Amino acid sequence: MGQKLEHTPLHAEHEVLGARLVPYAGYEMPVQYSGIIDEHRATRSSVGIFDVSHMAEFRVFGLGAFDFLQGLLTNDLHRIDDLSAAQYTLMCDESGGIIDDLIVYHSGDLEYLIIANAANHETDFEWMKSHCPTDVELADESERTALIAVQGPNALEVIRDLAGPEFEVPDRFHIGAAGLDGVPALIARTGYTGEDGVEILCHADNAIAIWRLLLSFECVTPCGLGARDTLRLEMGYHLYGNDMDRSVDPVTAGLGWTIGKDKTGFVGAEAIVRIREVGPSRKLVGLTVEDGIPRHGCSVLHDGTEVGKVASGTFSPTLEIGIATAYVPVDVATEGTEFEIAIRKKLARAIVTRPPFVKKTSL
Partner 1 sequence: MYPKDLKYDKEHEWVRVEGDIAVMGITQFAQDQLGEVVYVDLPAAGDEVVAGETFGEIESVKSVSELFSPVSGEIVAVNDALDDTPETVNASPYNDGWMIKVKLSDTSGLDGLMSAEDYEAFVNEA
- Applying CB under 8 A, the span of 30-38, 105-113, 169-177, 235-243 interacting with partner 1 comes to 30-38
Interface residue with partner 1 among 38, 137, 141, 161 (CB under 8 A) is: 38
**Contact between 230 and partner 1 (CB under 8 A)?**
yes
Q: What's the chain's Rg over C-alpha atoms?
A: 20
**Contact between 261 and partner 1 (CB under 8 A)?**
no
Spacing of C-alpha 195 from chain mean position: 13
CB of 20 to partner 1, least distance (A): 8
**Contact between 197 and partner 1 (CB under 8 A)?**
no
Residue 174 DSSP symbol: B
Neighbour count for residue 277 (Cβ, 10 Å): 7
**Contact between 67 and partner 1 (CB under 8 A)?**
no
CB of 295 to partner 1, least distance (A): 7
Euclidean distance between CA atoms 270 and 74, whole angstroms: 11
179: left (phi over 0), alpha (psi -120 to 50) or beta: beta
CB of 122 to partner 1, least distance (A): 27
Euclidean distance between CA atoms 249 and 252, whole angstroms: 6
**In terms of CB distance, is 153 or 292 closer to partner 1?**
292
Residue 196 DSSP symbol: S
Reduce the DSSP state of residue 222 to 3 states and report it.
strand
- In 10-138, which ranges are continuous DSSP H helix? 11-16, 36-45, 65-70, 121-131
Taking CA atoms, 90 is separated from 48, 117, 131, in Å, by 27, 11, 15
Interface residue with partner 1 among 17, 21, 25, 31 (CB under 8 A) is: 31
**In terms of CB distance, is 103 or 348 closer to partner 1?**
348
**Contact between 48 and partner 1 (CB under 8 A)?**
no
Euclidean distance between CA atoms 196 and 72, whole angstroms: 29
CB of 235 to partner 1, least distance (A): 16
**In terms of CB distance, is 170 or 317 closer to partner 1?**
317
Angle between helices 225-234 and 36-45 (to 10 degrees): 60
Interface residue with partner 1 among 37, 215, 219, 347 (CB under 8 A) is: 37
**In terms of CB distance, is 246 or 295 closer to partner 1?**
295
Euclidean distance between CA atoms 23 and 30, whole angstroms: 9
How big is the site for partner 1, counted in residues (CB under 8 A)?
Answer: 17
- Applying CB under 8 A, the span of 35-43, 62-70, 178-186, 206-214 interacting with partner 1 comes to 35-43
166-173: list long-range contacts, CB under 8 Å, 24+ apart.
169/198, 170/84, 170/198, 173/85, 173/86, 173/87
**In sequence order, what are the residues at sequence separation of 6 or more whose Cβ sits closer than 8 angstroms to the Cβ of residue 217?**
47, 158, 161
Interface residue with partner 1 among 8, 32, 252, 299 (CB under 8 A) is: 32
- Applying CB under 8 A, the span of 29-37, 111-119, 121-129, 132-140 interacting with partner 1 comes to 29-37
CB of 220 to partner 1, least distance (A): 20
CB of 314 to partner 1, least distance (A): 7
| 285-324 residues near partner 1, rule: CB under 8 A | 292-293, 295, 314-315, 317, 320
Name the site residues for partner 1 (rule: CB under 8 A). Answer: 20, 31-32, 35-38, 226, 230, 292-293, 295, 314-315, 317, 320, 344
